[in-house]
Amino acid sequence: MDRRKVLSGGGAAAVAALAGCATAGAPSGASRTVFAVAQPTLPIVGTSEVFPVRRIYCIGRNYAAHSREMGSDPTREPPFFFQKPTDAVQIVPPGVTVDHPYPTLTKNYHYEIELVAALGKGGRDIASDRALECVLGYTVGLDMTRRDLQRAMGDEKKPWEIGKSFDRSAPMGQLQPAAKTGPFTKGAIWLRVNGELKQNANLDQMIWSVAEQISKLSRAFELMAGDIIYSGTPENVGPVVSGDVMEGHIDGLPDIRVKVV
Ligand code: MN
């Protein structure tokens, strides 16, 4: 597909900027890096290729009932976003229970089950009716949260960073190609802990769809291939402790299983 088609408003200047970004990761001049920094990647199911992760965007309070349980009014709030570091990714292969270390500093460690979209194309000012053309693949993710620290920082009007953006806070499955799965606008999304159903909703209850999220994000940031988006969690978030096994499900995607250790 011609990637220029996903740019609705930028015209030639935006295309030039996008083309320029394609080489942004290449070595510049004769300089060599003093040491190597690992590039986090996600396996792409059915291929020998991996997806290099550039940025991880997460939307807040994107299901009305979850927004209410967090103390907000879902009818009035525009979407808002935060980021996790790319090396927060913890890959959860299908059929495997992955050990997930309980993080430091928290006494109230929460799960949030979410649909994750991974972009194979980017742009600025992307129209929502073209936005899904940017999605290369989807998977099931957990937006793990030190809820006590997130709340404490929020109460003090300080950044959420320590509550949301820490090591291994982004467990997720392998990428399933969008060309095979199609879009995710409805379907069950649930999370079990030790076999007990904790979160149970439908993707059609999102306040802002994945397409709308891409469109909104692209007005604030230039999106690029490699960006991934956590699309929000439904209600009934809650705590896990060491020994708990979380099972995450979205219709049309392989389940993920994560054990807190
Ligand atoms: Mn979340």
Strand 135-142 to 176-177 pairing: antiparallel
Average pLDDT value for residue range 215-232 = 98
CA of 112 to the centre of ligand 1 (A): 6
pTM, full prediction: 0.88
Q: Is the pLDDT of residue 244 over 60?
A: yes
The CATH number corresponding to 3-260 among 1.10.1040.10, 3.30.300.20, 3.90.850.10, 2.40.50.140 equals 3.90.850.10
C-alpha closest to that of 148 among 113, 107, 111, 112: 107
Own/partner contacts of 5-12, CB < 8 Å, gap of 24 or more, are: 5/130, 5/133, 6/121, 6/122, 6/123, 6/126, 6/130, 6/131, 6/133, 6/134, 7/123, 7/124, 7/125, 7/126, 8/125, 8/126, 8/127, 8/130, 9/124, 9/125, 9/127, 10/123, 10/124, 10/125
Between the CA of 66 and the centroid of ligand 1 the distance, in Å, is 10
Q: Measure 105 CA to ligand 1 centroid, in angstroms.
A: 19
With bands split at pLDDT 50, 70 and 90, how would you rate the model's confidence at 1?
very low
Ligand 1 centroid vs 241 CA: distance in angstroms? 19
For residue 4, pLDDT beyond 50:
no
Domain ranges in the chain are 3-260
Q: Could you give phi then psi for residue 37, rounded to 5 degrees?
A: -115, 130
The mean of the pLDDT values for the chain is: 90
pLDDT tens column, 25-52: 555 578 999 999 999 999 999 999 999 9
